[in-house]
């Protein structure tokens, strides 16, 4: 599949996740086989206010693969202006698309009429998409859910509105806002969206291994799949899925492989943010690299108290020695 001029051969996307899909995670996922990444969501209003911290979230680095910047908001003019500013910013010169968040279920976003709250008004979805599309010279994509709650499943209507507004591709998470991240993703609704639209559709939800990835493709007919929580502490999932798609043997990473990758991710984050902030923000994610190994729970507790790179390295070395 293609989004604009960007070829995504296997349809493997790293889904946007606030607090997770920063530069460091995007790099290790790209190295493991992710073909396209979407950034943490960026406030459109903050961009128009020239907020430096917000612009730092939108920075794209040379060691990454194709990256789209995701923006959120509810006012078409503000969203359009933010998209324009980002697309013209030198730090975003390698930007391949603007992604519009219409799927975030978090209460403070939803209650402000943003994220998945936009699904209450398909006409507004079309207006926002159209405004952003007119403001930039790169592809525009949209991320939605199945609906706000089980009584208001309107993913097809919202997806058609986004397509009518000029969206170049659409990603759908197979859950309602009310579900948050619980329950099961509804693949039948994803399939309905796919069969109703002409633009590429990316399916998202419950993909944690190659078997689930292959069945998501076959069950929905989606052009691509977006992996979020399944890649946290496990960027290797992209290599696993790619091997399955190519009918190649997959060798699972050793504990040393996992530790080396975790420390590489943390090292990149440290260069970007400074040591203490990088360690504090990445504690949970780095600790997940040890999942399934002996003593992992105890060592995760140590990592969750760490404040320096050396403390994390020491805990990781302990894990390696205990699992020889």
Tell me which residues are annotated as active site.
104
The secondary structure of the chain in percent helix, strand, coil, rounded to multiples of 5, reads 50, 15, 35
The DSSP-derived string for 10-59 is: S-EEEPP-TTT-SHHHHHHHHHHT--EEEEEEEEHHHHHTT-HHHHHHT-
HEC sequence for 69-86: EEEECCCHHHHHHHHHHH
How far apart are alpha carbons 147 and 78 in whole angstroms? 24
The DSSP-derived string for 97-155 is: EEEEEE----HHHHTTT-GGGGGG-HHHHHHHHHHHHHH-SS-EEEEE-SBSSTT-B-H
How far apart are alpha carbons 165 and 186 in whole angstroms? 25
How far apart are alpha carbons 118 and 104 in whole angstroms? 10
How far apart are alpha carbons 177 and 118 in whole angstroms? 11
Parallel, antiparallel, or unpaired: how do β-strands 6-7 and 2-3 relate? antiparallel
């Amino acid at each position: 599949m293609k989004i604009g001029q960007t070829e995504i051969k296997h349809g493997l996307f790293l889904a946007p996740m606030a607090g997770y899909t920063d530069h460091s995670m995007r790099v290790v996922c790209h190295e493991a086989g992710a073909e396209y990444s979407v950034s943490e969501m960026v406030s459109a209003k903050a961009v128009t206010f020239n907020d430096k911290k917000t612009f730092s979230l939108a920075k794209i680095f040379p060691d990454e693969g194709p990256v789209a910047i995701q923006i959120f908001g509810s006012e078409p003019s503000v969203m359009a202006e933010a998209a324009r500013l980002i697309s013209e910013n030198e730090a975003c010169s390698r930007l391949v698309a603007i992604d519009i968040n219409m799927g975030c279920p978090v209460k403070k976003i939803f209650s402000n009429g943003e994220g998945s709250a936009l699904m209450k008004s398909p006409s507004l979805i079309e207006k926002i998409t159209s405004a952003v599309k007119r403001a930039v010279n790169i592809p525009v994509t949209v991320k939605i859910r199945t609906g706000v709650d089980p009584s208001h499943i309107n993913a097809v209507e919202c997806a058609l509105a986004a397509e009518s507004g000029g969206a170049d591709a659409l990603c759908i998470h197979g859950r309602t806002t009310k579900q948050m991240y619980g329950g099961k993703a509804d693949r039948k609704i994803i399939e309905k969206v796919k069969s109703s639209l002409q633009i590429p559709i990316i399916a998202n939800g419950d993909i944690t291994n190659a078997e689930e990835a292959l069945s998501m493709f076959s069950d929905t007919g989606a052009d691509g799949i977006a992996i979020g929580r399944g890649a946290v502490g496990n960027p290797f999932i992209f290599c696993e899925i790619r091997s399955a798609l190519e009918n190649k043997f997959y060798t699972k990473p050793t504990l040393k492989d996992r530790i080396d990758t975790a420390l590489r991710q943390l090292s990149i984050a440290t260069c970007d943010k400074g040591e203490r902030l990088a360690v504090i923000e990445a504690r949970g994610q780095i600790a997940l690299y040890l999942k399934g190994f002996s003593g992992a729970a105890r060592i995760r507790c140590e990592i969750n108290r760490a404040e320096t790179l050396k403390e994390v390295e020491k805990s990781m070395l302990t894990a390696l020695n205990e699992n020889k």
